[in-house]
Structure 1
């Protein structure tokens, strides 16, 4: 397949030398260019008691006003401003205003415990901390070096839209702006207890990644992005928020993962771009397929036949007949307006990927890490491969496999303008993740094909070595269970010591059964009566999955767990709790 050279950022040349002077604009410069192009278009939308929308012109006015207030109140170039809260236009305005003031934004996970947030604030030492209403009072009560503001209009004196500078124009003209190579954000990926690890991302990192990713995916000013996953996370921050404002698209902020609210916002927001994690897409698909099965075996059989035909036509011709064939099904699931769905934050099972495409949804996968801003691979809609997490972006970046084995599998390494500056105040940790010649080591194991598509196996540190010396990747086995999410809510695969003398590992599955399974079996979780039927049902699923795995990959021990294991923002199990 010949790579098609596209430059979605060619339009920037009209502003080069005027609005910006570097290779890439900074985030404020990028947003200002978009406002010039699409000022009257909707920018930020939220559904509260009614639909509330800011146009790009209105959003910029609020951003500049808050930036001027921050500057008048002592925030200067390079200072830190932290923000933590539910997805909202206020969060977005605060983020952009911080950058317009020349400062560095510190997005913090609102789902963390108060003491964990305090730990990140101490590590980053912000001048201001904007926090949502539920945690505002607690942080106001602390004696700290940072000033606490609110993202909620319930605290009018500290609310970002109410903070007015004394002299707007004078403040704006005296701001020293950040440059392309200056820090834009510090993203904390882990270490919420002990020493936090902050990824330092520059304006160049984020803006270059935003536009380069569009080499494999066309997005338009007419698109409507749904910010459902927490926006503090690099995936949502770049792939939804920054991508949208780079082209003048609309962002609809979802504040809750409750299914009823999500479906309402998908429908009323007329969402065209849905970005999520595998767990979200598994749950959505489980609901769709249940609705089809409920129509009886004849209808279900016919639908499955049509889905197969739809997929075949799409792969051979590039046309998408499923959008029309299954319009009623998609409309019932509030997905009829979707143009594209993207799964990231972890590998999605190829079987799930295929079913969405069979139903007529242009569904693709991407790959990246916080340290790479994050997108470094994306499946083109017209040339997707269901087993791959995407194609990387030559010639704008490089990717290679370090020390590949006989199957071409090794650690994925990356070079490019999206690779982080380093970890905040952690030179040794920074040096550990770079090779001597400057390649960033991802810690992920994978292989590349001759068309630049990446196939992931798992995390290097999670790899299990069996008695026969075979390498087993837990993520590959876990992915095989993704179509059973109605019965199994959470499955985590790990190695266990089978033989202390030889130190050989077997494969164990930690399983948290789903509520739907208990309901179907008519038993209550945690009761003696539930133990045998639940165990039998789970063992049956494990046996079915094992048949499709290689002998050395098969699960030999299944443990039912009474509580789900703790998960990250992107719904991945924190494996430190399961090892």
Structure 2
């Protein structure tokens, strides 16, 4: 994979994985599986729908929703259509949201019914088109599924220098600033991730972090998909739900931050504490033994391979 390539070529290769699991999204009690073929077909159909609806190469489209398979499909579809994805933090205040939508010149906002009203009430002279990820296509013409019914069309070709994603800073020292990442830039990052074997073809990744940050967007989402790895989306970030995601997704690689690992450890501790004194004793012994092996022999693999943080 070379930086001379674009994300379009990487996206186009996803369908070659066929029926292999691409996404495992956990609900409160259920789970939804997306194969690479389904992912590739949907994103291509969505990209065609955007093109048919008048979106052109270089247009900006914001994503204002929580992590979900449809978010990933929409983001990849935007990029495949030659447009620019603008992932937004769902916790942004109204003033900041107005600033970002104006600054990015977003022609559309992809969101959910729960967050739709906030967008509609924003003080914007030019209202962006709303596309809803969870609306019934029979009841709401803004449903994203209406785009999936569009006939396939020829999509524009991008260059490595074209922007693929526009990410905004947190704005701690002033208004948030947009940072464009080009197709070539992201392809180069994926090159390094693959070369350094941050993840390998045998891994199964957990993606608990919000996708409006570059770290989860590139390393948490794009890298596993480019490598053909199954990607598990937890229902929530509670310790128990993270443990459930680790188990059901048979996870071997976690894309996380210290706070996440703390929640995960708390979930483990809580389960151990409720399992009686024998389990507590064994857990303590295993922790001590693991620390001894790591400090004495200088390695944690294969001891901790089944849950390797990135």
> When the two structures are superposed, what TM-score results if normalisation uses the length of structure 2?
0.86
SS of structure 2 residue aligned to 1:87: coil
1:157 paired residue among 141, 165, 184: 141
Per-residue CA deviations over 1:262-319 (Å, capped at 9, x if unaligned) read 2222211211211111112233335546748x8499768755652343214641xx57
Q: Following the alignment from structure 2 to structure 1, what is the Cα–Cα distance between the partners of residues 268 and 162?
A: 46
Cα 1:208–1:195 shift into 2, 3 Å: same
Distance 1:264 1:339, change over 3 A: closer
Match of 1:103 among 83, 92, 109: 83
1:186 partnered with 2:169: no
1:40 aligns with 2:22: no
Aligned to 2:50: 70
1:125 aligns with 2:93: no
Name the CA distance, whole Å, in 2 between partners of 1:224 and 1:149: 31
Which residue in 2 is equivalent to 1:83? 63
The aligned residue for residue 309 of structure 1 is 292
User: SS of the residue aligned with 1:276?
Assistant: coil
Greater Rg over alpha carbons, structure: 1
CA distance in 1 between partners of 2:94 and 2:193 (Å): 35
Cross-structure match for 2:217:
237
Distance change in 2, residues 1:53/1:302 (3 Å): closer
Give the 3 Å change call, closer, same or farther, for CA 91–249 of structure 1 in structure 2. same
Matching of residue 145 in structure 1 with residue 127 in structure 2: yes
How far did residue 253 of structure 1 move? 1.8
Structure number with the bigger relative contact order (C-alpha 8 A, sep ≥ 6) is: 2
Q: 1:162 to 1:253 in 2, by over 3 A?
A: farther
> Compared with structure 1, are the counterparts of its residues 273 and 140 closer, same or farther at alpha carbon in structure 2 (3 Å cutoff)?
same
SS at 1:187 equivalent: strand
Partner of 2:228: 248
Any idea what the Cα deviations from partners look like across 1:445-494, whole Å, max 9, x if unmatched? xxxxxxxxxxxxxxxxxxxxxxxxxxxxxxxxxxxxxxxxxxxxxxxxxx
User: Deviation at 1:145?
Assistant: 3.2
Where does the alignment leave 5 or more consecutive residues of structure 1 unmatched?
1-8, 10-21, 324-336, 343-579
Distance 1:243 1:282 in 2: 24
What is aligned with 1:56? 36
Counterpart selection for 2:244 from 261, 264, 269: 264
State the alpha-carbon separation in 1 of the partners of residues 70 and 128 from structure 2: 19
CA contact (8 A) 2:15 2:39 kept: no
How many angstroms does 1:135 deviate by?
A: 1.1
What is the CA RMSD across the aligned residues, in angstroms? 2.9
Distance verdict in 2 for CA 1:116–1:299, change over 3 Å: same
* Higher helix proportion (structure 1 or 2): 2
**Aligned pair in 2 of structure 1 residues 304, 238: CA closer, same or farther (>3 Å)?**
closer
Residue of structure 2 aligned with 1:207, choices 179, 187, 204 = 187
* CA distance in 2 between partners of 1:265 and 1:300 (Å): 21
Between Structure 1 and Structure 2, which shows a larger proportion of strand residues? 1
Deviation at 1:50, TM superposition (A): 2.5
Q: Once the two structures are superposed, what CA deviation does each residue of 1:390-445 show, in whole Å capped at 9, x if it has no partner?
A: xxxxxxxxxxxxxxxxxxxxxxxxxxxxxxxxxxxxxxxxxxxxxxxxxxxxxxxx
Q: Give the length in aligned residue pairs.
A: 302
SS of 1:184's equivalent? strand
The answer to whether the 8 Å contact 2:203/2:252 transfers is yes
Correspondence list, 1:283-362, <5 A: 283-286=263-266, 288=268, 291=272, 295=277, 302-303=285-286, 305-312=288-295, 314-315=297-298, 318=299, 320=301, 322-323=303-304, 338-342=306-310
Equivalence for 1:510 = none
How many angstroms does 1:158 deviate by? Answer: 2.1
